[in-house]
């Protein structure tokens, strides 16, 4: 359904079939319900491929 403001709303239970075409010019997601775009996903991959330095310290009680 097209909205008066030019937006598009897909009713619950419906779907959008892009027929194998890309969705382009998508902004970065900011809410937990937003989709991520390739730029955001690629940034996570770059960070993860650098590795993680994890240091754990455990305190033993009642020794």
DSSP string, 1-63: -B-TTS-B---TT-----TTPPP-SPPPP-STTSPPPHHHHHHHHHHHHT--------PPP--
Q: Which two tokens stand for residue 20?
A: 């194998």
| Domain residue ranges of the chain, discontinuous segments joined by + | 34-62
Tens of pLDDT, residue by residue, the chain (63 residues): 778 887 888 888 888 899 999 999 999 999 999 999 999 999 999 988 988 888 888 877 776
Is this model's pTM higher than 0.75 or not?
no
Is the CA virtual torsion 31, 32, 36, 40 positive or negative? Answer: positive
| Residue in the block written with tokens 């590795």 | 51
């Amino acid at each position: 359904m097209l909205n008066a403001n030019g937006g598009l709303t897909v009713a619950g239970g419906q779907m959008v079939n892009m027929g194998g075409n890309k969705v382009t010019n998508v902004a970065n997601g900011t809410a937990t319900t937003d989709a991520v775009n390739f730029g955001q996903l690629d940034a996570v991959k770059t960070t993860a491929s650098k590795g993680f330095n994890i240091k754990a310290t455990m305190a033993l009680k009642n020794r």
